[in-house]
Amino acid sequence: MRLNKKDIINFNVDYIEVYWTLKNYKEILKWLDNDNSNFRNYKGFTIEKTDKLRNYVYKITFWKNNTPVFAWYEWATLNMFIETKDYFVVYWSAFNIFSLAEIIDFINENIRIDYWTQYYIKELNKKLKEKREIYHMLKRVDLAIDIIKPINLVIKNFKKLKSKWAKFYDDKWNIQTYYIWEKKNKLNKNLLIRIYDKIADIKQKEKQYLYTNYLKEKYITRIELEFRSEALKFLKLEQLLDRSYIFNLFTSYISKHTDIFSKLESDTPIKLKKLSKKLNLWDLHTSQIVKKRYLNTFLGYSNKLLELWTCPVDYLLREWILKENTKYDIWLSIDEEWKLNLSKYRFGVTSQNARYIFADNYKKDEWWD
């Protein structure tokens, strides 16, 4: 099977995640928190604050025409060594309400990279010997194409790659989906391919009002390429506006698995560049990166020691492996009953907590605007 232009009902960017911070989040929070209301009108949107999220403090959702289109997630410190990152999401529904140019304008006007990430990117680019530039702002981009063919026929035209992750299974809406490459983010930072029945998906999600023209067709199969963080370091947000570029990008990556787009492919395939394996990322921000690596390893071994009825804290004390300010902070955290108050040690006014409080305030400061 070879597709022609008439077989394609739509091709577009379908989802975007971008680092980092919402410029005016402090102003927005005042609007949302001053009378215990979770909803407000803001710049033509209805905005909603949602608290108590896993790994994040809260998110702010932007609604348009009773549809969620954007969201921004505020970072959280999971423990004293691990923290998440702020990021902004453009949901697939936004592309049915706004043009891609309008969405990118909104991102450029309302999202900024924080100071330390700018510094990291600058230092990383200095290390590169090739004439290319890392942007390191995009977290995820989905490209989607909808074709007027039944899914069973489309799947038959995909190669069976034994060395690659490729399987069918039902998702939470009981829609059969075909995945190529590992689905879990922790195991795959580059690319994921999804193939599913778009008509069934629309009906299950009750989004018929966004896809009225689709319901005229008997079959529509969607093929999505989800580009993840490692594959996006050299992609600039504005490049998504070049439809020839992104379509060529799509067909270049899908051609490994099927030749159904061979009639439509360009003579000059485009692929996203990757970091050179010779580049040692440990040289950059060594004090932060290596510290987290060793601390996480230490925590893992500590849990194993506890399972073996050995206390890692007791062992460290007996070997006297601790800093002077740790001894001082323990003394500050002893309560009236001569017991160590862990809450006071973790969150009280101690010498080591002071630097984490300072770092948090420093990150929230907007002096670089």
204 plus 105 within the same structural domain: yes
Question: Is position 46 within any domain?
Answer: no
230 plus 143 within the same structural domain: yes
223 plus 353 within the same structural domain: no
Question: Is position 276 within any domain?
Answer: no
Q: pLDDT-derived band of residue 358, with 50, 70 and 90 as boundaries? A: very low
292 plus 332 within the same structural domain: yes
User: What's the pLDDT at 359?
Assistant: 45
pLDDT digits (tens, 9 = 90+) for 223-267: 999 998 888 877 888 899 998 889 988 988 888 888 888 888 666
**In this predicted structure, which of 141-155, 208-222, 269-283 has the lowest mean pLDDT?**
269-283
Question: Is position 151 within any domain?
Answer: yes
Task: Report the number of distinct structural domains present in the chain.
Answer: 2
290 plus 246 within the same structural domain: no
Q: pLDDT-derived band of residue 116, with 50, 70 and 90 as boundaries? A: low
Q: pTM value?
A: 0.69
Tokens coding 332: 């500050």
What DSSP state is assigned to residue 133?
-
User: What's the pLDDT at 14?
Assistant: 93
Q: pLDDT-derived band of residue 136, with 50, 70 and 90 as boundaries? A: low
202 plus 123 within the same structural domain: yes
Question: Is position 38 within any domain?
Answer: no
Of the candidates 18, 269, 226, which has an alpha carbon nearest to the alpha carbon of residue 135?
18
Residue type, 292: K
Burial of 286 (0-12, 13-18, 19+ CB in 10 A): exposed
User: What's the pLDDT at 285?
Assistant: 47
Question: Is position 56 within any domain?
Answer: no
Strand partners, 77: 83
Alpha helices in 38-114 (DSSP H): 100-110
User: What's the pLDDT at 163?
Assistant: 44
Question: Is position 43 within any domain?
Answer: no
| Averaged confidence pLDDT in the chain | 78
**Contact status, residue 225 vs residue 235, Cβ threshold 8 Å:** no
pLDDT digits (tens, 9 = 90+) for 148-207: 999 989 988 888 755 455 565 555 545 678 888 877 766 677 888 999 999 988 888 888
Q: pLDDT-derived band of residue 61, with 50, 70 and 90 as boundaries? A: very high
Does the pLDDT at position 362 exceed 50? no
10 plus 158 within the same structural domain: yes
**Contact status, residue 272 vs residue 234, Cβ threshold 8 Å:** yes
243 plus 322 within the same structural domain: no
Instruction: Compute the average pLDDT of residues 273-286.
Output: 52
More confident residue, 11 or 356: 11
Tell me which of 185, 219, 254 is where a domain ends: 254
Question: Is position 189 within any domain?
Answer: yes
Does the pLDDT at position 214 exceed 80? yes
Question: Is position 331 within any domain?
Answer: yes
Domain carrying residue 286: 281-364
305 plus 244 within the same structural domain: no
287 plus 218 within the same structural domain: no
Highest mean pLDDT among 68-82, 87-101, 176-190: 87-101
**In this predicted structure, which of 60-74, 295-309, 327-341, 351-365 has the lowest mean pLDDT?**
351-365
Helix (H) or strand (E) holding 254: helix 243-254
Task: Mention every residue, 6+ apart, whose C-beta is less than 8 A from residue 28.
Answer: 22, 40, 42, 47, 60
Q: Which pairing describes strands 56-64 and 67-74: parallel, antiparallel, or unpaired? A: antiparallel
User: What's the pLDDT at 363?
Assistant: 43
Give the integer Cα–Cα distance in Å for 360 and 177.
Answer: 42
Does the pLDDT at position 29 exceed 70? yes
215 plus 308 within the same structural domain: no
**In this predicted structure, which of 52-66, 84-98, 104-118 has the lowest mean pLDDT?**
104-118
122 plus 213 within the same structural domain: yes
User: What's the pLDDT at 365?
Assistant: 42
User: What's the pLDDT at 161?
Assistant: 55
